Amino acid sequence: MNKLGKTFKRVLLFIILLIAYLYIGGVLVFAFDQPSRSDFIDQHPVDRFYHDGEGPDRVVLIEQRLEALLARLDLIRNAENTLDIAYYRYFNDYAGKLFFHALSEAADRGVQVRLLVDGQFVKFQDVRKAFYALTLHDNIEIHIYEPINLLLPWTIQNRLHDKFMIADQKYAMIGGRNIQYRFYAPDNHPGRITNDLDVLIINTSEQTDSSVIPQMSRYFDSLWSSSYTKPLKVKRSDLKKGKAYQDALEAFITKERRINPHFFQSAIDWLSHSYPTRRVTLIHNPIERLNKEPWIWYDLTRLVERAESSVFILSPYVVPTRKMLEYIDDIKVPSEHITFFTNSIPVNPNRFGMMGYMKRRNDLVDKGYKIYEYQGPETFHGKAFMIDERLTLIGSFNLDARSTFLSTESMVVIDSVEFAEHFKTVIENKYLNKSLLVLEDYTYGPNPIITPATMKQRELRLYKLLGIVFNWHDYMI
C-alpha cells in the first residue's frame, strides 16, 4: 500500500474514533447515567406555593410580540442600579441591536450590567462582535455558561436554557422568549414569527424577603458564579471588532430613532396593567452536569397529582418519555379535565420534538386527555401550566426530557385567581381559537373557520421513519 493510502486510512480511522467518542461521551452516556437523589422533595413541600392574603408581588402577562420587546427595553431604560440578564440565545438582528444599544445606554448611566450567555453557539455566531462592543463599557460584565469543549463531549448537553432578567431588585421578567426578532416581529414580517409568553413581576413592598425577586437574584448569582461559567475572553483584536460594531450600531440607532421613535420613548405604567398575587415562587433545576435531578419535574408532577378540578398544559413540544412518567403516581383529576395545548405536527418548528410528539400523540388521546393543536401560521413557543385555575406557572420549561433532566430551567409559580382567570381568557381567545381539538379517532373536530396546517406526505413519511431511529434517544429530545 502506498504512503497516500496509509495516510488516508489513518485519517479515516481518526474520524471514526472521534465520531464514536463524541457519540458515546455526548449522547450514549446519558442513557445510562442516573440523576442523583436528594432530600429535595422532603425539603420543598408543594404547600409552599400557596398562601392566604395578598403578597407583595404583582404580575403582568406579556403576550403580544411588540409588547414583549417594549417591555424589555422599558426595564433596561428605566433601570437605575443593576441589571442581571440570562438568556439562552441572543441574535444580532433587529431586536438584538435595540436590546444591545439599550444595555450600552444603561451602562453609560452607571447601571451595573451582568449578562449571562449560553456557550453553545457563541463562538460561531455573528452576535459575538456585539458582546465585544458591550465589554468596552466598564459597567458591563459578560459570562459564558459551559463553553463548548469537544474534549469533554458530555458538557455539550449542559445548556443554560433560562430566559429571565432582573432590574434593580424591583422588577423581573421570565418566560420563553430569546433575544431574536422572530419573537417580537409584527404580523406582516416576511420571515418566521413565533408567539410566546412572559410574565413581568413587580415587587410593591420595601420589604423584599417575601417577594420572588430575591429568589431569582440568588439563582442568577448561583449561575453566574458556577464553576461551569467563565468570563468572556476578549483579545485586543476583538476590541477592534467591538469598536467597529459600536460605531455601526450608533448609525443604526440614529436612523431608527427617526423611523420608529416608540422604541426609544417607553415609559410604561406596569402597575396599572398588573394583577395581585398571594404568592410568587421560583422553581428551577439544579446546576450540574450529566442527568440532573429533576427538581422542576418533581414540583410539576406533585402539583398535577394534587390538582382537584383541572390541569391546563401549554408547551411547544409534548414529549413525555417513559423516564419522565416514572415520577407520576396518582392523578385525581379526571382525564377529560386535563388539557394540552401544543403545535400541530406541520407547525412544530422543532423537528426532533415533532418526531417525539408523533410517537406519543395517539397514546395521549387514548388516555382521554383533551389535546388542542395550534394551526398557525405562526408557531407557538410558550411554556405554561395552570392548576385548578389558581396556580399559573410560566417560564422556560418544555414538556420533554431535555428540560427535565439536561438543561438549566426556571419557572415562577403564581398563586393568583385573578391572574389565572386573565391568563385563561387570553389563551382561549388568541390560541384555542386558532387550534383544532383532536378527537378519539385522532382526526380533528369540526371548525369551519380553521384550516388544518398540512405537511407533504413524503415529508411526513420521512419524519416517521427518522422517528424510529431518533426515539431510541428520546432522553435527549
Q: How many CB atoms lie within 10 A of CB 420?
A: 20
Q: How many CB atoms lie within 10 A of CB 451?
A: 10
DSSP H helices, 320-350, are 322-325
Task: Kindly state the helix (H) or strand (E) to which residue 401 belongs, with its residue range.
Answer: helix 401-401
- List, for residues 415-436, the tens digit of each pLDDT value: 999 999 999 999 999 999 899 9
Confidence of residue 190 (pLDDT cuts 50, 70, 90): confident
What CA–CA distance (Å, rounded) separates 36 from 183?
35
Q: Are 309 and 388 in contact (CB under 8 A)?
A: yes
Please give the mean pLDDT across all residues of the chain.
92
Q: What is the DSSP string of 51-76?
A: -SS--SEEEEEE-SHHHHHHHHHHHH
DSSP H helices, 24-161, are 29-32, 40-43, 65-77, 94-108, 128-134
Query: For the residues 129-156, what does the mean pLDDT come to?
Result: 93
What is the biggest distance separating any 2 CA atoms in the chain, rounded to whole angstroms?
83
Q: What is the pLDDT of residue 1?
A: 57
What CA–CA distance (Å, rounded) separates 303 from 310?
11
Dihedral Cα 144, 145, 149, 150, nearest 10 deg:
-130
User: Interior CA angle at 476 toward 471 and 477, to 5°?
Assistant: 65
What CA–CA distance (Å, rounded) separates 151 from 137?
33
Query: For the residues 184-201, what does the mean pLDDT come to?
Result: 93
CA 181 to centroid of chain Cα atoms = 15
Query: Percentages helix, strand, coil for the chain, rounded to the nearest 5?
Result: 45, 20, 35
pLDDT greater than 90 at residue 206: no
Q: Are 416 and 277 in contact (CB under 8 A)?
A: yes
- List, for residues 164-182, the tens digit of each pLDDT value: 999 999 999 999 999 999 9
Confidence of residue 440 (pLDDT cuts 50, 70, 90): very high
End-to-end CA distance of the chain: 45
φ, ψ (nearest 5 deg) of residue 235: -90, 170
The conformation of residue 160, written as its DSSP 8-state character, comes to B
User: Interior CA angle at 168 toward 167 and 169, to 5°?
Assistant: 90
Q: What is the pLDDT of residue 2?
A: 74
Task: Kindly state the helix (H) or strand (E) to which residue 169 belongs, with its residue range.
Answer: none
- List, for residues 59-108, the tens digit of each pLDDT value: 999 999 999 999 999 999 999 999 999 999 999 999 999 999 999 999 99
Cell output for 371: 389535546
Cell output for 110: 452607571
Confidence of residue 191 (pLDDT cuts 50, 70, 90): confident
Q: How many CB atoms lie within 10 A of CB 467?
A: 19
Cell output for 214: 430575591
Confidence of residue 125 (pLDDT cuts 50, 70, 90): confident
Confidence of residue 142 (pLDDT cuts 50, 70, 90): very high
Q: How far from 87 is each of 114, 208, 220, 327, 333, CA to CA, in Å? A: 12, 24, 11, 29, 35
What CA–CA distance (Å, rounded) separates 372 from 280?
28
Question: CA 451, 452, 455, 461 torsion: positive or negative?
Answer: negative
Query: For the residues 214-239, what does the mean pLDDT come to?
Result: 95
422 burial class (0-12, 13-18, 19+ CB within 10 angstroms)? middle
Q: Which residue has the higher pLDDT, 266 or 279?
A: 279
Q: What is the pLDDT of residue 402?
A: 95
Q: What is the pLDDT of residue 124?
A: 66
Confidence of residue 464 (pLDDT cuts 50, 70, 90): confident
* Closest listed residue to residue 256, CA positions, set 101, 71, 31, 66: 101
Query: For the residues 208-231, what does the mean pLDDT come to?
Result: 94
- List, for residues 296-346, the tens digit of each pLDDT value: 999 999 999 999 999 999 999 999 988 999 998 889 999 999 999 999 999
pLDDT greater than 90 at residue 5: no
* Closest listed residue to residue 330, CA positions, set 307, 296, 299, 311: 307
Query: For the residues 110-136, what does the mean pLDDT come to?
Result: 90
pLDDT greater than 70 at residue 163: yes
Question: CA 325, 319, 385, 338 torsion: positive or negative?
Answer: negative
Strands (E), 319-376: 338-343, 370-374
Return all residues near 209 (Cβ < 8 A) that are at least 6 apart.
none
